[in-house]
Structure formats: structure tokens, C-alpha cells
Structure 1
Amino acid sequence: MLLSPTQLDRATGVLLGTAVGDALGVPYEFECRILRADETPQMLGGGLGPFAPGEWSDDTSLAMAIALVAATGADLTTDDALDAIAENFLQWFDDGPPDVGVQTRAVLSATRRRLSAGESGVSRVMREEAASYAAAHPHSAGNGALMRTAPVVLAHLDDRDRLAEAARLVASLTHADPLAGDSCVLWCEAIRVAVLDGRIDVFAGLDLLPADRADQWKRWLDDALTCDPTTFAPNGFTVAALQAATAAITHTPADDAAHLENALYAAIRIGNDTDTVAAIAGGLLGARWGASSVPDEWREAVHGWPHDNGRPHTARDLIALAGAVQPGQ
């Protein structure tokens, strides 16, 4: 699929937008640092771990685990690609990240134990553990799959149906609840539309959901467009996280590329899981406005896992990685 220069800028904005939203939200997660009414969010680091200023958290690290596979040209619906993504999740987990979601930790820990005992088929094992967790925890539709879903889009810009399938499969590696998969399908399709058409349409993927849940999702999205953004806290539930990101984006004036910056501030001001909501919003905002819309100060500061010979990935690496994905080639 040949992208125009403008579309390519928007495609490379997907990962960068995710990362800057994440790094901006890190200091304020779960009120680690109270944001004053007159204060503008800054990449101060800290938060739930010893994050350096500008360092992204698990949201972007897990997105990177997916992006590294997408950049190989893989079809993310295949077992080989899902195995590679699952292996990357485990590599990140084995590196001892300071902040890991409860559900993700449980699934990855159980997967590592089974693999260490001699089982094979890493994505199969991981999906089984995710399903077991969901069966034992009726309210397991956390936001941990949605926060990392943006790079799935880059592998399947040319095929919305394949994209929806990939989004649900990648989500199911750790989050088996159907609502988690639904949220990833909706957000991925919104990002795809933003990259290709330069517009934001959070309703675009409703037809890709099972009919018995599409009407409920429409009501949830309608609420996001009409209710005050602060309504959507707490936001650890994937529905509330999607609503919070949607509300921050749609309630912020969108006259120009400053929309990205201002909407990320709005996402963080909602509170609670600030890095995750801002990372989710950043993926769509980057897809709409492009990498070129990200302030230079943020580009220079943002960094994180994975590390190459001790050097963290940076904004330049994110842009190069996103640009390497050639869907349909």
C-alpha cells in the first residue's frame, strides 16, 4: 500500500503519539503527583516507578513489542506473528519493568512458568492463561490491551477486516474478555481512518463488532461525546479508558495540530490511569495530526524500552519503525 507523504506522516505519528502521551501521563498516574489546576502536565518522570523524565511506561513498551513484529511485514493474524509478539512481551517482562498491570503480570508469569516446564507454543499458552484469568475474574476487561493496540493498525492499514481480526487476536494474548477485544477493534479502526482520511471517527468500527454488543458500544461512545471528560474516572476498565480518551479528544477544539498537545493535556487532567488514557489518546491524535505535529521538546525527551546495547529507543527510532511497516506489500 503506497501512502502519500501526508499519510506517511500520520502513520509515523501513531507510535510517537502513543509514547508522548504515555510519558506525559507517567508522573500523575493514580495521583502519584497531584496536578494543580493552573499547572500544565510535564514529562517529569517518577510515577509508579523510577522513570526518568520523558521515559515511557508499560503502555508504550508493550506497543513496541507489537510494532517490532509489524515492522517485519508480518500478518499479525498468523500464529508465527502472534508467537513473536508473545515472545517480545515475555522479553520485556523478563527485563524487570518497574510497572506491570496486575492482569498482565498474572498472565505473563503463568506463561513463563509453563514454558520453563517444557511446553511450547508461546502464543497458545499465553492465550490459554489469559482465558483462565478471565474465567476466574469476571471483571477482567482491563485497559491493558487497549493501551498497546495502536501499532496493530500499521500492519493492516489496507484491510479493515483483517485489522479487526488482528486487533482482537493480539488483545487476547493477555485479555480474553470480549469487551477488551471490542475496544481494540474500535480504536484500531479509528486510527486507520485517521491515517488514511485525516479525520477522527470513533464510530467507524461499530460494524466490525458483534451485533449484540455494537448498540451498547454506540451508547458508550455517545456518552463520551456528551459527558464531561472527568466523568470517566476511574478508567482501568477498558470501556471507561476508551471513553476517557474519546472525551479528551472530542471535547478539545480541533482547529489545528495544537489539538494533539491540548487533547493530551485534557486526557491527563481526567486523572486516575493518566499514562494509559493519554497513551490511548495519543495513538489516535498522532494518526490524525502526524509525527510533524509533536512538539520538538517532547520528541527530544521521549525514550524507553527496548534498549539496544544499553541505549533506549527514542522518538527517531519510533518514527523509523513505524515508517518501516508496509501493509499489503
Structure 2
Amino acid sequence: MGDALGLPYEGVSPQRAPRLLGPPDRYRFLLGRGMISDDTEHTCMVAQSLIDARGDVDVFTKRFASRLRWWILALPAGVGKATARAGIRLWLGVKPQNAGVFSAGNGPSMRAAIFGAAIDDVKLMLEMVRASSRLTHSDPKAECGAIAVALAAKHSRDHETVDANLWLDHVVNAVGDDGVELTDLLRKAVLSTRAGESTPDFTQALGLAKGVTGYTYHTVPVAIHAWLSHPKDFRQSVTTIIRCGGDADTTAAIVGGIVGAGVGCGGVPEEWIDGLWEWPRSVTWMRSLGESLADSIDEKPITVTKAPSINPLGVLVRNLLFLLVVLFHGFRRLAPPY
């Protein structure tokens, strides 16, 4: 939902967005309906691969790499440079463990919340997050950001009341010396929320007045601030971070994943669920995916849960339509109001 709500605001400054599109309180992508982007698609592929893996990190890596190859082939619009290059390297025969390019983009973070939502074993969860991150991004910063998001989603799921210090301690232990810069930024976010500073004001204090960039150490601290400011309010947390501008679909997807892990489907506005227009990854299909993932975690040894599949030709047709809508939004931004 965060991804679909933030998508039309992607790349628009927080100053211009309200004049160009209006408030992010409803879908504004296609005739009042919402569509998902790579943020949600990657989360779905991670969920499918977790079902296949059954706790085996190597199997997860292979299955996710395979899905990423075919995802790239379906001509997704707006794919990040690092992810695109990693997908091409996979097609050229590079092993999944070596496919990632040196980039600190927020691709690994955008698909990380599902790990915290689905996996109880922290050690296994961290291994899965690292495998997911390194498949496309080899810069340790990208990995550290993804770890922080996954641990936030797990904390959101496990605690009725969020304890920011407890969560931050877990992040510090998990990222080690590689993540000192990130943990300093996260500590600033914790102190800022405690002082009552709004997420847009915190964003400006980080020097991001024109919008949150796709750099992990910009994306993740702002997303964490939105979560800590509204830990059990899905609507407020998502709309708040979209108002910060910039990479709004990814930041809102991350916040939606973290807060959603705590409030569940019942905490998401029904009109946002009903207003999502998607195929073949429909709401019904995504519900089935979530149920299958839950079943694969709880299943007995004699049962085997299979990941729901999708029609590849359907994905290609959908992506062509999606591209046309994206191009329309691109041309619309050339016109006033500025």
C-alpha cells in the first residue's frame, strides 16, 4: 500500500508535490487506483523464495536469483541501476554470490521488512537478509540498511509497544563496525522522535529538503523516524513519509512493511486495499502468497507448501501498461504548477 500510494510522488520535491498531485491520502496513479512498483514485486519474490528455501540460505539465494533474472527480462519500469546490472550479470552466468555491484542504494532495504515479519530466528533472519542484499548490492552500507529495516519489522511484530532503544541495541550488535555511521544516524532519529520533531523536519535537518534520496543512509533513518513517530498508525506513518518527497514509493514501502508487520491487515485502511488495481500480482494473489509463507513456516515435515506462481506473459503485458502510465506522469511533470 505504501509503495502504491507513494509511486506518483516519486522524484517530486515536497514543496511541489502538494501543488502537482494533492495530499497523499488516496491513490493518484491511474484513474484513482493504485499500482505497485519494484518495491512490492521484490518483496513478493523474496516471499516466494523463502517458501522454496524452507530455512536453507543457499536455496533461498538460488531461487531469488532465478526469479530476479526473469523479473529483469519482463522489462520492469523504474528498476534501479545496481539491480539492473546485477540482473544482467546473472544472465551472463555470474554466480549469485558474486552478482552484486558496489552500490549503497536502497534496493535491499525496500525488500527487507518481509524477513522480519516472517522469520523468528534472528540468526537465520540476518543470514537471509545478507544473502538478499549481496545478490544485488555489495556495498556493506546497503546490507546494514536492510538489516535495520528487517529488525524494525520484527520488533514491530513482536512488541505491542515499541522500545526504540532495545531495537537500536539489536541493530548495533547486528551491523558491527560496518554500520557505525548508520547507527549514529539512527540514534539521531530516535532522539528526534523523543523530542517531538516531525519526520519532515528531521528530513530537512539531514539536508534532504528537496526529498529523500535513494542512498541507503538517507532512506533508512527517515523511514525509521516515521515508524517511531507513528508505530501503530499505518495511515499516518505512510502519508507522513510520502510528504518528505524524493524516493517516495520506496520510503513508503519500507515504512508500510515495518508498521504493517505490527498492525496486521486489519490496521491498513480498507479503501487502500480495495483501491489497488493489480494483475497478475493481485490483492488476492498476494494474500495467497502471505498465507503460503505462513503455512511453510508452520508446516509439518510431511507437508510441502508451494509458492504461488504468476503468468509470465501476464507480467509482460502488465508492465507495458505500467510503463505507459509512468511515461504519462513523466510528461505531466513537465507542465505547471512548478
* TM-score category, normalised to shorter length: 0.7 to 0.9
Cα separation, 2, equivalents of 1:219 and 1:207:
10
CA contact (8 A) 2:48 2:293 kept: no
Superposed displacement of residue 91, structure 1: 1.6
Does residue 45 (structure 1) correspond to residue 15 (structure 2)? The answer is no
Find the counterpart in structure 2 of residue 156 from structure 1. 119
Superposed displacement of residue 263, structure 1: 0.9
Does residue 317 (structure 1) correspond to residue 317 (structure 2)? The answer is no
Find the counterpart in structure 2 of residue 203 from structure 1. 168
CA contact (8 A) 2:214 2:247 kept: yes
Task: Quote the RMSD (CA, aligned, Å).
Answer: 2.5
Q: What pairs with 1:62-77 in structure 2 (closer than 5 Å)?
A: 62-72=42-52, 74-75=54-55, 77=57
Does residue 126 (structure 1) correspond to residue 96 (structure 2)? The answer is yes
Find the counterpart in structure 2 of residue 141 from structure 1. 104
Cα separation, 1, equivalents of 2:242 and 2:126:
28
Cα separation, 1, equivalents of 2:144 and 2:128:
12
Cα separation, 1, equivalents of 2:50 and 2:99:
24
Find the counterpart in structure 1 of residue 236 from structure 2. 262
Does residue 81 (structure 1) correspond to residue 54 (structure 2)? The answer is no
Find the counterpart in structure 1 of residue 214 from structure 2. 236
Q: Which has the higher contact order (CA 8 A, sep 6+)?
A: 1
Distance 1:220 1:67, change over 3 A: same
Superposed displacement of residue 210, structure 1: 4.3
Cα separation, 2, equivalents of 1:224 and 1:269:
17
Which residue of the other structure, out of 132, 141, 150, is the alignment partner of 1:179? 141
Q: Which amino acid aligns with 2:40?
A: T
**What SS does the aligned partner of 1:312 have?**
coil
Aligned residues: 278
Q: Which amino acid aligns with 1:244?
A: V
CA contact (8 A) 2:116 2:153 kept: yes
Superposed displacement of residue 147, structure 1: 0.5
Cα separation, 1, equivalents of 2:188 and 2:267:
28
Cα separation, 2, equivalents of 1:322 and 1:166:
18
Gaps of 5+ in 2: 300-338
Superposed displacement of residue 73, structure 1: 5.9
Find the counterpart in structure 2 of residue 5 from structure 1. none
Superposed displacement of residue 109, structure 1: 1.5
Report Cα offsets for 1:57-115 as digits up to 9, x if no partner: 011111111111223462252x2221111111112111111111111111112221x13
Superposed displacement of residue 328, structure 1: 6.3
Q: Output the TM-score relative to the length of structure 1.
A: 0.77
**What SS does the aligned partner of 1:212 have?**
helix
Which residue of the other structure, out of 13, 21, 24, is the alignment partner of 2:2? 21
Superposed displacement of residue 129, structure 1: 2.8
Does residue 212 (structure 1) correspond to residue 177 (structure 2)? The answer is yes
CA contact (8 A) 1:291 1:319 kept: no
Gaps of 5+ in 1: 1-19, 116-123, 135-139, 305-310
Distance 1:266 1:210, change over 3 A: closer
Q: Output the TM-score relative to the length of structure 2.
A: 0.75
Superposed displacement of residue 318, structure 1: 2.3
Q: Report percent identity of matched pairs.
A: 25
**What SS does the aligned partner of 2:136 have?**
coil
Find the counterpart in structure 1 of residue 270 from structure 2. 296
